[in-house]
Amino acid sequence: MTWLIVTLCAAVFNSWRTAVQQSVRASLSVNGAGLVRYFYGLPVAVVLLAGWSLAHGEALPRFDPAMLIWALSAGLAQILGTNLLLLAFGYHNYVAGTAYSKTEAIQGAILSFVLLGERLSWITWLGIGMGVFGVLYLAGGGRRPRLRDMIKPAALCGLGAGLGYTMTSIFAKLASRAVHTDDLILAALFVLVVTQAGQVMMQGSYVLLRERGEMARVLRSWRSSSLVGLLASLGSACWFSGFALAPVALVRTVGQVEVLFTLGFGHVYLRDTVKRYEVVALFCIAAGVALALAGTF
């Protein structure tokens, strides 16, 4: 059950990182706020990989072209997902933006079945559905999910972010499979370093070429941005490890507990108030996670 532990840790780190990153967003552009996640996170990822390799006496895996392609694809998908999530915050509040992105559970279940051949029990599917209902109920402000709410800018950005994160999960799993080692955690950390290095080059190049002066602001924000990078790398290390160890849909479904932590961090960092309908939505999400886990036994 290592995948369950790292997934829960990923949810904590991710919600904490998103709250801090949203505060950084006030002084940076969307791309600048997205870049700090990778720019300051890459050194942390390198340390995690080196530490795991030394602690377990494992040599670094040899480089594989297929792994590089999948890792860069994962990096690009994560960049797009992060930017869309930050845009969603601009249209709505922090919790709602995160909630819409959590539809990645059902998106991941469908796409991982089609692209990876991962199969889930009907109980797990029921749990996924209940969890998605909970996040949509939360995003809708306590109203029954309505189709017209799904075409609003905040919803479209949040759903797009969920798709970006879903594809990140799938590409990361494919990249881990292409790493020549029996140590799945080592494979996940190796993929993480390659992915973040690619993200620094991709988004960093865009910022340098298209947003003159933004890189200087990224460097000046190092005090808060370095915390974003630390939390991002710790979270991504846990996510990538979870994807390597368990089905993508199951990891993403359990990861919905991030919404619980999001409410907490939103209250602490952004002074959001917790409402009654949010508590109801959380019960639905918790029940969905419980059913999804029950379907694995």
147 Cβ partners below 8 Å, 6+ apart?
none
Q: Quick one: tokens of 286? A: 């918790």
CA distance 112 to 265: 30
* pLDDT, tens digit (0-9, with 9 covering 90-100), for 238-272: 999 999 999 888 888 888 787 777 676 666 655 65
Name the least confident of 31-45, 178-192, 212-226, 266-280.
Answer: 266-280
* Ramachandran category for residue 64: left, alpha or beta (phi over 0 → left; psi -120 to 50 → alpha): beta
- More confident of the two residues 176 and 104: 176
Can you give the pLDDT at residue 9?
92
Contact 198, 72 (CB under 8 A): yes
Supply the mean pLDDT for the chain.
85
pLDDT at 28 over 90: no
Helix (H, G, I), strand (E, B) or coil at 98: helix
CA distance 109 to 50: 33
CA distance 129 to 85: 22
* pLDDT, tens digit (0-9, with 9 covering 90-100), for 49-107: 999 999 998 888 888 899 999 999 999 999 998 888 878 777 655 566 667 777 888 88
Alpha helices in the chain (DSSP H): 2-24, 30-39, 42-55, 65-91, 94-101, 104-116, 122-139, 153-177, 184-210, 214-220, 222-245, 248-254, 258-270, 276-294
